[in-house]
Amino acid sequence: MFNLFRRLLLLPFLVLSWGSINVAAATETFFDQSLGDFQSELVSARKSGKRGVLLMFETEGCPFCRKMREQVLGQPEVLRFFRGHFAIFSVDLLGSVTVTDFAGQNMTEKNFARAQRVRGTPTFIFVGLDGKEMARFVGATRDAGEFLALGRYVADGYWRTRSFKQFYPDTEPESRKP
């Protein structure tokens, strides 16, 4: 009887742990593996027909980064859309790993973030195939729908003619419009 009681107490922990493992695995598949050579990654993105590169600048312990990883990036529709349109990489805002920027200069992740004028996390920067910034979004999105709208905003070229704030209300479902 005591053994059964212990097993029942462990069940919620195991279920919660499995959910955390699944979220971690899903967000790991969101990001491409990289050696930190963003100049080469841009060439690879071009060859594979992508629209550009998406960089997520984050730090360990950032609650908004964690929210994006746990609630948004692992969603199947988000994975499908972003992996189909962009090469995607995570950059540690405070990291000391050496990376090569889009112009071929070597520097630490921290200095790369400074060069990109990243001040907070998460910051999402979309870089075009020409190596120039197309769009930037600072902070966590409200939900997966807003993040998908951000992706469409960039992938479909709306960033050329209007801001995301101007674009997003046009893509909201009628139930969310005031």
Cβ partners under 8 Å of residue 141, min gap 6: 68, 72, 147, 150
Query: What pLDDT is stored for residue 170 in this prediction?
Result: 55
**Whether this model's pTM surpasses 0.75:** yes
The overall average pLDDT reported for the chain is 86
What's the count of helices (H) and strands (E) in the chain, helices before strands?
A: 7, 6
Torsions phi, psi of 40, nearest 5?
Answer: -70, -35
Kindly report the CATH number that applies to the domain delimited by 2-176: 3.40.30.10
Cα–Cα dist 161/168, whole Å: 13
* pLDDT value for 175: 44
Q: Is the pLDDT of residue 24 over 70?
A: no
- Give the separation between CA 13 and CA 17, rounded to whole angstroms: 6
N- to C-terminal Cα distance for the chain?
A: 57
The string of pLDDT tens digits covering residues 116-160 is: 999 999 999 999 999 999 999 999 999 999 999 999 999 999 999
pLDDT: which is higher, 141 or 171: 141
Confidence label for 169 from pLDDT (cuts 50, 70 and 90)? confident
**Euclidean distance between CA atoms 63 and 58, whole angstroms:** 10
Q: What is the four-CA torsion angle of 64, 70, 76, 79, rounded to 10 degrees?
A: 50
What residue spans define the domains of the chain?
2-176
